[in-house]
Chain A
Amino acid sequence: MLWAALRFPSSDATPPADDALHGPASWALQYSPRVALLEEAVVVELEASVRLFGGKRRLRDRIVQEAAALGCNSLAWAPNSLAALMLARAGVDSGFRQPLPDILDALSMQVLSATAPHLTTLMQLGCRTLGDIRKLPRGGISRRFDKALLTALDRAYGLQAEAHQWFVLPETFRTRLELPSRVETAPAMLFGARRLLVQLCGWLAARHAGTTAFRLRWAHDAMASRSAGEGGEISVRTAVPMRDVEHLCRLLAENLARVALLAPVGDLALEALDVVPLEEGSASLLPDDQAQGESLALALERIAARLGPECVLRPVLVDDHRLEWAQHWQPAPLPMPRKRVKPTTTPQPTFVLPEPLRLTMRGDRPLYQGPLLLLTGPHRVEGGWWHRVGPPGAHETRQQVRDYWVALSEHAGVLWVFETRLAGDANAWYLHGSFA
């Protein structure tokens, strides 16, 4: 067993709030699932993770380095968690250099919290170190003091098994950050939001999950005028579950670019709205095999975040022979219909105009950048009486009766024009598309 104890003592010698330990405990979960909170320390059992992280020495170096960044001021290693905590309190960093009882015997008895209620009595008995207490008869200790002291001693010396309540990640993610200075523009909030996103992605990694939606709230600082209100919020959604800090940051940046702050902001909060399990792609053995760049879905998502979802479109074919209804466009992330429409075999244009363009006539010949030569036709498209739009009672149908022709223009290429009947006897020619 390889236990590490990381102490985070608070400045005023009171036990730290549990919340203060939650951050380091979440961080420690990336090394081992066996993480527990023990008094003012986070203890981690790492024996099973040694090989994964490249050996004891490298794992130790990495943890020492990162723990310092988290604000841990004493760290110790021992075969059990209580001994590790005691060593950390005494300032000894390793419990493996000598047999554990020899090291512990020399420590001051105050490092064991179970001695605290009996400290005066023990001092009067002449005990100074843990070794002195151990020399007292066991029966006497259990009668004179309480069972807790004996149990704690046995656990620290490895004579009795320990039981831990393992640290479990919170089910929901919600964290806040007080900004070091007031932020006046929305894009500048990204600096603080990024730190929250890093925590979010760490939390997601430990849960093997990705997020599809998260919400950033900001609170205006106390000096804001009353009319500005409390603050604001922005929700960001992703097409696929995601826990890549960079991508989430860029999405947030695109969204924040459109926000105008009503007042300076002093406080940020980040909340994960939707969390779904995420299966990560395996790393490849061969370096060339890995795809460079990002997937199309991510790129389109970023573009849609700036231009709006109605600007990034995929076509959906519909079984209809009227040109306007034979296809429609839907935002790219939406799923495509499973059933595929059989494509038509008749010639169809490759570009269409949003609205048919009425052509001017010379005699009975339509003009578009010069006279048109009608090549083949007519291709009669008639129908749509079933297609009603508008409120019931006042609806109108989208019926069409059109004769389509393939026309050739000297300058405009091959065109798709139609002739239709207007009110009365009049006919009209329209340009509807082109065979580009």
Chain B
Amino acid sequence: MTPSTAPANDPHFATVQPMLPGAVQPLVWRGAELGGQATPVRSSGWPALDRELPGGGWPHRVLCEVLSPQPALIEWRLLGPALRAVAAGGGQIVVVAPPRQPYMPGLIHDGLDERRFVWIRAEGPAQRLWVTEQLIKANACQALVAWLPQARHEQLRRLQVCAQAAEGLVFLCRPEAAQHEASAAPLRVHATFALDWELRVRILKRRGPAFDGTLRLPSVPGGLASVLTPRLRRPGRLLAGLPSSKEPADVVGRPALPQQRRHAASR
């Protein structure tokens, strides 16, 4: 019964705690508390997200599903901090069948290393699954990000069984529609972006009680933080006034006048 075993974020914990002898306590999991992660975890980079993930970070040895409304929308923004830590530790990062070509100069801003990055182009669901399974089984890369838009749940279960023996992080990026399908992945996260440099993350499935809220995580991608003016830190307001107004809005976003553009191009 050491205080260190009690999750800090659970107020109910203190009330039930004295009822159990010390040796039993760590072995008992209550429905109201967050599941402990028996496997090692890696911090996601946001304390707010870490608090809600079982064990306090992205878990190793299991599949983590990341669902998003569109491919190539938020993947690097969400996974970047964890991948940066992997790259800093000398780990290899392998991406399987990304929806677009990864662009290394931008990923270097996220802390990735071009020498520890492998891109596997795989066409078709069967090939993507095969490659993903081979890499998980080989247990050779410290982080694997695979885009599997058409995986079925029995295929995911097979991957999950393989992943239990692998030591690295395994992220599967899937479309938003997959949230209505069953999945063997123990952690499922839905993420999208908000206009004011935020990620909105919902945890659809985790070991522990269901999580209803939406996490708002600040995130500025790809080195843009250095060029944002105070005005641009809230672009949602600028965009809100944009589509309806017929006359040019007086925002920075408005392209310069045609005469000036021609002048600049002919220079």
Contact = CB atoms under 8 A, between A and B. Distances in A.
B143 to A, nearest CB: 12
Contacts of B119: 312-315, 329
Interface stretch (A31-39, A103-111, A180-188, A341-349): A341-349
A410 B140 contact: no
B139 interface: yes
A370 B167 CA distance: 42
B99 interface: yes
Q: Which of A293, A378, A380, A411 has the most CB of B within 10 A?
A: A293
Given A292-B165, A302-B134, A375 B120 contact: no
B253 interface: yes
B122 A311 contact: yes
Given A307-B127, A370-B243, A350 B103 contact: yes
B184 interface: no
A427 interface: yes
B23 interface: no
B36 to A, nearest CB: 23
Interface in B62-96: 69-70, 72-77, 92, 94
A261 interface: no
B251 interface: yes
Contact of A307 (B103, B105, B120, B223): B120
B105 A314 contact: no
Given A327-B104, A350-B102, A374-B253, A296 B141 contact: yes
Contacts of A435: 77, 106, 221-222, 224
A78 B169 CA distance: 60
B134 A352 contact: no
Interface in B222-267: 222-224, 226-229, 232, 235, 238-239, 242-243, 251-256, 258, 261-262, 264-265
Given A329-B119, A346-B223, A350-B110, A403 B264 contact: yes
B72 A314 contact: no
B80 to A, nearest CB: 8
B101 A296 contact: no
Contacts of A371: 242-243
Interface in A396-418: 401, 403, 406-408, 410-414
A316 B114 contact: yes
Contacts of A349: 103, 106, 222
A296 B92 contact: yes
Contact of A351 (B72, B109, B121, B255): B72
B195 A436 contact: no
A401 B107 CA distance: 24
Interface of A: 292-296, 298-300, 302-303, 306-307, 310-317, 323, 326-327, 329, 332, 336, 343-354, 364-365, 370-376, 378, 380, 401, 403, 406-408, 410-414, 419, 421, 425, 427, 433-436
Closest 3 CB pairs of A and B: A293-B139, A299-B138, A296-B140
Interface of B: 69-70, 72-77, 92, 94, 98-110, 114-115, 117-122, 127, 130-131, 134-135, 137-141, 165-167, 193, 195, 221-224, 226-229, 232, 235, 238-239, 242-243, 251-256, 258, 261-262, 264-265
